[in-house]
Amino acid sequence: MLTNVAVLAFDGVAPFELGVLCEGFGIDRTADGVPAIDFAVCAEDDRLMRTSMGFSIQAEHGLDRLETADLVAVPAIPRGGIPPEAVVRALQDAYQRGARILSVCSGAFTLGAAGLLDGRECTTHWMYTEELQSRFPLARVVPEVLYVDSGQIVTSAGTAAGLDACLHIWRQEYGAAIASTVARRAVVPPHRDGGQAQYIARAVPDCDAETLGPLLTWVVEHLGDDHTVESLAKRAHMSPRTFARRFRDETGTTPHSWLTRQRVAAAEELLERTEQPVEWIAGQVGFGNAAALRHHFTRVRGVSPQAYRRQFAC
């Protein structure tokens, strides 16, 4: 169970991505029911570290702090530089003893320098995926995703995707309700569909017409209803073809995929918080029957509803 997080920093660290990790795991949310995390930012020594934004910071903890961490996180750092040997060795030691390793954005290059990406699927910011693959040819770089969970190693794309990866880890460790609480405090969605490809070379959607935000809010409040592209388009006062195009522009996915994700997320909450049978939950979230819920839940989350409930039931 995740209780101890250490963030690794050194010269050139990007403060925004460092802040993402502090937001993800460093804030005390116990008053909201979120488990306490022993959190620390660590460095090779207590000298001032230059950030990429022209100011310096100082860490209060040394690399020995990594020895007790369940999760070691690496924010964005300069891609071209060579990480300090002590940092590389500390990452390798953490990996060898079984700690989970998370990188944000160009932090993946530090993991590559430590040999932790060899033979493993991984990602980084879309601007750097080709460079990551070239620098570390044994890695299997996946350019189009927000983050990759390859088991012990989790790599994420750009800044916001780092927070997506943090929430993914919260969800894995403590369930959807806790992840949603963390997301709510950060005022971000607990889960984003799609991948970083949707943010590359794409024009800002035409927003002359009414945005779909109010409609999507209504759909989440009425998941048990029977929704089709035609019925939703009618409610949005659009033709089905225009609605489908606008939906993909604004969400990065199809109405069916988005609705399935929302229903799975709602099923997670009910599995955690109630003892109602799976058949009842399926009806409440709009899957209709237990077989349909099991099919979609297992495909999206990788475990059956029953297994999920055994792990995360309150």
233-238 contacts, C-beta under 8 A, 24 or more apart: 236/210, 236/212, 237/210, 238/209
* Neighbouring-strand partners of residue 4: 38
At which residue do the structure tokens 């012990």 appear? 152
Domains along the sequence of the chain with CATH: 4-186 (3.40.50.880), 208-314 (1.10.10.60)
- The strands making up 153-156's β-sheet, listed across from edge to edge, are 38-42, 4-8, 71-74, 100-103, 153-156, 147-149
pLDDT per residue over 201-211, tens digit each? 433 333 233 47
pLDDT at 194: 65
Residue 70 has pLDDT above 60, yes or no: yes
Residue 192 has pLDDT above 80, yes or no: no
Give the pLDDT mean for 140-164. Answer: 93
pLDDT at 209: 33
Residue at 94: amino acid letter: A
Whether 100 and 25 have beta carbons less than 8 Å apart is answered as no
Alpha helices in 124-277 (DSSP H): 129-135, 159-174, 176-186, 213-221, 229-235, 240-251, 255-273
Residues contacting residue 167 through CB under 8 Å, at least 6 positions apart: 24, 179, 182, 183, 188, 190, 191
pTM > 0.95: yes or no: no
Element (H, E) at 71: strand 71-74
Nearest to 73 by CA among 104, 38, 115: 104
pLDDT per residue over 99-145, tens digit each? 999 999 999 999 999 999 999 999 999 999 999 999 999 999 998 88
Enter the tokens of residue 296: 């979609």
5 by DSSP, 3-state: which?
Answer: strand
Whether 169 and 146 have beta carbons less than 8 Å apart is answered as no
Nearest to 258 by CA among 219, 210, 310: 219
